[in-house]
Amino acid sequence: MTGKPKNRKSHSLRRRVPKRRAQAPLREALLMIDRLGSKGDGVAPLDGGEIIVPGALPGEEVRVSHNAQRGRVEEVLRASPERVDAICVHYGACGGCQTQHMRAEAVAAWRQQSLEDVFARAGFTDIRFLPVLTSPLASRRRARFSAERVKGKVMVGFNQRSRHEIVDIPDCVVLHKDVLAARELIASMVDLLARPEVPRFSALVTLLENGLDIDLVGREEDSLSLAQREGLGALLADSNVVRLTLEGQLFFQKEVPLISLAGFLVPFPAGGFLQASREAEMALQDYVLENCGGGPALDLYAGCGTLALPLAKTRAVHGVEIAGGAVDALAFVAKHHRSRLKQLTVQARNLEQEPLRPEELAKYETIILDPPRGGAAAQIREIAASAMRHVIYISCNPKTFARDAKVLHAAGFVMGAVQLVDQFRFSAHIELAACFNRG
Ligand SMILES: C[S@@+](CC[C@H](N)C(=O)[O-])C[C@H]1O[C@@H](n2cnc3c(N)ncnc32)[C@H](O)[C@@H]1O
């Protein structure tokens, strides 16, 4: 356990009990579903507009109870041939998955169409897709649970879709078993720490090489009594947790939390980024290795080195990243595993405010970018203005990816086939990767 952190303001108590909006009374309607929306929900015409009907498929006739925006399926009167039984017992109640009621082919077709629509809006009409690389069931090594103590009982799970209520998910099919098992410990921690005015918590759980890394959000260490600190310490001493942070502040650490990336054991920083499944991490590494030139490479938004480390075994790599913890982790590997690396250098830099300029880019043969959801607008402008010829762009947001691709296209880059990596099984989220080259 750590000592009391100094000079931190406590906002915890005031914002814990969320406001519940007054619900308008629901109406009933019979609807014909027209199409699937961007999140995989059915969309149906109603009263001159459209409403969203989760769990309904195009061509289906459904009886729903609804408000102005959303309908809940009460009965499927005519089912689509694309409808299948969900494989998870929590499906429908739990908001974690959205597409289990569709045949896999229908999901693939819907996904491709939604991506084509996004790209078409950015001016791309002839996108080619490589076969999707899908992570297996029970492979998600990172999850954010919601937890709440209500009437003396603690629930730990995911929120219902667009709602506040938590669904317990003991049989979730997407989470790694060790992440799923963490729910019990989280329930004990929340039972210990919850108060009437602070009933609700969230817990980000990440499965590392030497245990679970948990960030519990709900109460800061300063607000805990001595008995609560001791109780928490006892729970953790007996667990497979390697680190617990409370609202991002270190509370407990058994040993240095480690993640293995490309065969290197990397000290994993609190709050660090990790691809959601090991299989997706390896798929992205393979993609980058296959498409990267043999000369010096620049890994922008490098995180802890998922992409930089496999490349740096055989070519010089410079990683750039904003988060100090990730930069330190990568610098640690560069220093302590020098003999296994051709060359690895690291730089802390905010690429939105201070993107690498064309003269800095000129040292490299290939640029790899893997930005957060907002994309890499400022950096892409510099790449477009440079003489660079080879870019590998990985993204978790098709909209910002297409926006940035349009800038590269206008600067003479040609986009290759798009590789999809489905590491968020049964959700609307998808990872994309593509190469951009110009002569
Ligand atoms: C999607 S993650 C990719 C990390 C890494 N490539 C991986 O696969 O593990 C995006 C990374 O960008 C970093 N980042 C976010 N905003 C940034 C900025 N303005 N400048 C530099 N890095 C940033 C985040 O800290 C995070 O590590």
Which CATH number fits the domain that encloses residue 351?
3.40.50.150
Joined tokens for residue 322: 């904003």
Print pLDDT tens along the chain (439 aa): 433 333 333 333 334 444 555 566 789 999 999 999 989 999 999 999 999 999 999 999 999 999 989 999 999 999 999 999 999 999 999 999 999 999 999 999 999 999 999 999 999 999 999 999 999 999 999 999 999 998 889 999 999 877 788 999 999 999 999 999 999 999 999 999 999 888 899 999 999 999 999 999 999 999 999 999 999 999 999 899 999 999 999 999 999 999 999 999 999 999 999 999 999 999 999 999 999 999 999 999 999 999 999 999 999 999 999 999 999 999 999 999 999 999 999 999 999 999 999 999 999 999 999 999 999 999 999 999 999 999 999 999 999 999 999 999 999 999 999 999 999 999 999 999 999 999 8
Same structural domain for residues 126 and 150?
no
Q: Using CB atoms within 10 A of its CB, is residue 46 exposed (0-12), middle (13-18) or buried (19+)?
A: middle
In a domain, 36, yes or no: yes
The residues that bridge with 166 in the sheet, in sequence order, are 159
Cβ(423) – ligand 1 distance below 6 Å: no
Phi, psi of 178 (to 5 degrees): -70, -30
Domain at 64, CATH number: 2.40.50.140
Residue 396 known to be catalytic: yes
Whole-number Å distance between alpha carbons of 253 and 238: 13
- Cβ(266)–Cβ(331) under 8 Å? no
Give pLDDT, residue 384. Answer: 98
Domain containing 36 equals 27-101
Same structural domain for residues 424 and 305?
yes
Same structural domain for residues 164 and 95?
no
Nearest residue (CA) to ligand 1, atom 26: 303
H/E segment holding residue 380: helix 377-385
Cβ(108) – ligand 1 distance below 6 Å: no
Report the phi/psi class of residue 191: left, alpha or beta, with left for phi > 0 and alpha for psi in -120 to 50: alpha
Joined tokens for residue 280: 């997706």
Give pLDDT, residue 151. Answer: 87
CA angle 134, 140, 141 (to 5 degrees): 135
Record the pTM: 0.92
The per-residue DSSP string of 304-336 comes to TTTTHHHHHTTSEEEEEES-HHHHHHHHHHHHH
In a domain, 192, yes or no: yes
Same structural domain for residues 229 and 353?
no
Residue spans of alpha helices (H) in 162-252: 177-193, 226-237
Whole-number Å distance between alpha carbons of 235 and 144: 20
Whole-number Å distance between alpha carbons of 192 and 153: 11
Could you identify the atom of ligand 1 that is nearest to the CA of residue 371? Answer: 10
- Cβ(284)–Cβ(394) under 8 Å? yes
Same structural domain for residues 346 and 378?
yes
Residues 6+ apart with CB under 8 A from 10: 220, 222, 223
The tally of domains found in the chain comes to: 3
Could you identify the atom of ligand 1 that is nearest to the CA of residue 273? Answer: 27
Q: How many other CB atoms are found less than 10 A from the CB of residue 271? A: 14
The crossing angle, in degrees rounded to 10, of helices 398-410 and 104-121 is 40
In a domain, 144, yes or no: yes
Same structural domain for residues 346 and 399?
yes
Among candidates 288, 283, 315, which has minimal Cα distance to 301?
Answer: 288
Nearest residue (CA) to ligand 1, atom 15: 372
Residues 6+ apart with CB under 8 A from 209: 258, 259, 260, 265
Same structural domain for residues 70 and 172?
no
Joined tokens for residue 79: 């089912």
C-alpha distances in Å from residue 70, one per residue of 93, 178, 203, 342, 422? 15, 35, 29, 55, 27
In a domain, 267, yes or no: no
Same structural domain for residues 374 and 277?
yes
CA of 375 to the centre of ligand 1 (A): 10
Q: Which of 273, 309, 330, 353 to mutate to test the pocket of ligand 1 (most atoms within 8 A of CB)?
A: 273
Cβ(351) – ligand 1 distance below 6 Å: yes
Cβ(275) – ligand 1 distance below 6 Å: yes
CA of 306 to the centre of ligand 1 (A): 11
In a domain, 22, yes or no: no
In a domain, 352, yes or no: yes
CA of 369 to the centre of ligand 1 (A): 9
